[in-house]
Structure 1
Amino acid sequence: MPVPLHSPGMLLVYVVKRIVRLRIVDLTRPLSPETRVYPGDPPVRIEAIADIEKDGYYNRLLHVHEHVGTHVDAPAHMIQGGATIDMLEPARLVAPAVVMDLSNACGPVTSREIIAALRLRRLPLPQNGWYLLLRIGGGCRSISIDAAEWMVRMKLAGLGVDAASPDGPPYNVHRVLLSSNMLIIENLNIPSMLDGEIVTIVVAPLLVKGGSGAPARVYALLDGGRLGKWLRGEQV
């Protein structure tokens, strides 16, 4: 539907209606000393450095590394000479995304499984700058090399998972994706109710100069999708 630009009043009404319809789901896990970290990585430490009663203000010192909590892996994380987190174009961080829950099985997620799951949910193939968000759990699931190569062929902007990592040593999935300039978002909090949704993902990593990655706030925006219809009591 074209935006009615011929009248400032009509444009304002259009924008307000869009905002009212919008549903925002926070996909970020909170940072705390209890935050899950990848095996071998240092835990989060937080110490108070100012108190309101004593200093007149409240402040704390965070001890975190670049890949803790919900975070983004930049290509430089595993690719020599790859883009660092501060080199990412903002336009790459806001894009359509397909969300699927594949946590009810074990073993590596294959491209065949992804395609079958998309068809089952009547979802389009994510491609050309889209993101794929997969709920795989923190246990027996991972992403296969085959699936990673398929994502590269589809020219995805990035892969997001709710696990600490899409794969383990020697991190070949990481290398396949990052060498193709894709982003990897790890430790997302993906609610099961988003299964089968098409959303707009907003990824906001800290702008760390020269960073191999950074903690990020990540949102899913829903406007008129299946979940939006359900929330409004319409036929899904």
Structure 2
Amino acid sequence: MATYDLSHPLQTGMQTYPGDPDVSLAPHADFDADGYRVTALSLGSHTGTHVDAPSHTEPDGKTLGDFPLDTFRFDAQVVDVRHGARASIDVRDLPTATDADLLVFHTGWDDHWGTDRYRDHPYLTAAAAEWCVEHDYHVATDALNVDPTPSPNASEEEPSGFGAHHALLGAGRLVYENLTGLERLPSRVELHAYPLALDADGAPVRAVAVTPE
């Protein structure tokens, strides 16, 4: 059995969605003054590799605490959609329906993590998101957002708002964002991606893929 960590480490100043809280890790106690160490953390619920609960975008959506713990362990199919900057991922790009319960979209955009270019990632169309709902999939991506992220490079033809989020979260699905290292994986994996014990609209996760070898 092989395991693969698909998570960005939490670090001070790490990249976040535009307008989200800054991330800070700072010493609160240290050995010289206190005889032990404690780190103070400040971050948003959608920091780094994280999961979106339906309440993220839906007024009456479920919070993370509404989901049984085993919901966050998936039979996942990895989908190669390395189409380039701000490319749409549409229904034509999706696989034939399988018995997996999570589609993991490998955009390759984690290569740009920590740069302005990271905002110019591929994104799901609302139609592709609706197809995922119709076929009972949760969704994950190695990009900042399943919808287009505002950027100076955005075109007028791109959808605005959160169409993919609304389609997925509005149907009670989970959305994972900011995975990394998907190029190491086979097409089918077992994915464990448990959130912090936080009954909220989202939370950072430690996403780990498990394969037979």
- Equivalent in the alignment of 1:197: 187
**C-alpha deviation, 1:108, in angstroms:** 0.6
**C-alpha deviation, 1:30, in angstroms:** 0.4
- Equivalent in the alignment of 1:135: 106
Identity of aligned residues (%): 29
- Equivalent in the alignment of 2:128: 147
Unaligned runs of 5+ in 2: 110-117, 149-159
The answer to whether the aligner puts 1:188 opposite 2:179 as a matched pair is: yes
The answer to whether the aligner puts 1:172 opposite 2:163 as a matched pair is: yes
Written as runs of structure 1 = structure 2, the 5 A alignment for 1:1-236 is 22-106=1-85, 107-115=87-95, 125-127=97-99, 130-136=101-107, 137=109, 138=118, 139-156=120-137, 158-168=138-148, 169-194=160-185, 196-209=186-199, 211-223=200-212, 228=213
Q: 1:188 to 1:58 in 2, by over 3 A?
A: same
Query: How many residue pairs get matched?
Result: 191
The structure that is helix-richer by fraction is 1
| TM-score of the pair, normalised by structure 2 | 0.84
Letter in 1 for 2:128: A
**C-alpha deviation, 1:88, in angstroms:** 1.2
Distance 2:44 2:129 in 1: 26
Moved more, 76-85 or 129-138: 129-138
Higher relative contact order (CA 8 A, sep 6+): 2
Letter in 2 for 1:112: R
Q: 1:140 to 1:186 in 2, by over 3 A?
A: closer
Distance 1:35 1:135 in 2: 21
Does the 8 Å contact 1:109/1:143 carry over to 2? yes
Q: What RMSD, in angstroms, separates the aligned Cα atoms of the two structures?
A: 1.6
| TM-score of the pair, normalised by structure 1 | 0.76
3-state SS of 2:94 partner: helix
